[in-house]
Amino acid sequence: GGGFPGIPLAILFPETQFHLVDSIGKKIKVVLAVADALGLENVRADHGRAEEFKGPYDFVVSRAVTQMQRFVPWIKGKISQKNLDSERINGLLYLKGGDLAEELGTMKARISSLSNFFTSEFFETKKVVYLPKSEINQFRG
């Protein structure tokens, strides 16, 4: 979405390939211009929606574009079955705010509060939800 968090992640992890997707063409044009200006050779950006791209991807990282129950089917089958290593299990990293208990339901997700890392008031209710590929593959929403 508009290059965030993709561009900062591409800067932090230059050895990793990033495929950034947004449904708004103007945002993708800006993302491509920023990546070019920064010399980021590890960024690919496409105009479209997540459900239109095949993958496979090690991780899908997204801001809260919709409810998890709606988003997970869009990426189901697009997560690589081969993990990067034994410590990092492929899956979804989803930036989300608010109370997630009802939204996540029975999904076995790990939740990290961004307020543990950032002091700005903006991050007080923001979380990163990690959903491993096994949960994505089993999802019946």
Q: Is a pLDDT exceeding 90 seen at residue 74? A: yes
Rounded CA separation 135/106 (Å): 10
DSSP state of 108: -
State the pLDDT confidence band at 1, using cuts at 50, 70 and 90. low
**Could you tell me which residues come within 8 angstroms of residue 111 by beta carbon, excluding any fewer than 6 positions away?**
100, 127, 128, 129, 130
Q: Is a pLDDT exceeding 70 seen at residue 83? A: yes
Burial of 94 (0-12, 13-18, 19+ CB in 10 A): buried
State the pLDDT confidence band at 106, using cuts at 50, 70 and 90. confident
Coil/strand/helix, residue 114 = helix
State the pLDDT confidence band at 71, using cuts at 50, 70 and 90. very high
Q: Where are the domains of the chain?
A: 1-48, 58-141
DSSP state of 134: H
Summarize pLDDT for 21-69 with one digit per residue, the tens. Answer: 999 999 999 999 999 999 999 999 999 998 999 989 999 999 888 888 8
Mean pLDDT on 70-99: 91
Rounded CA separation 9/13 (Å): 6
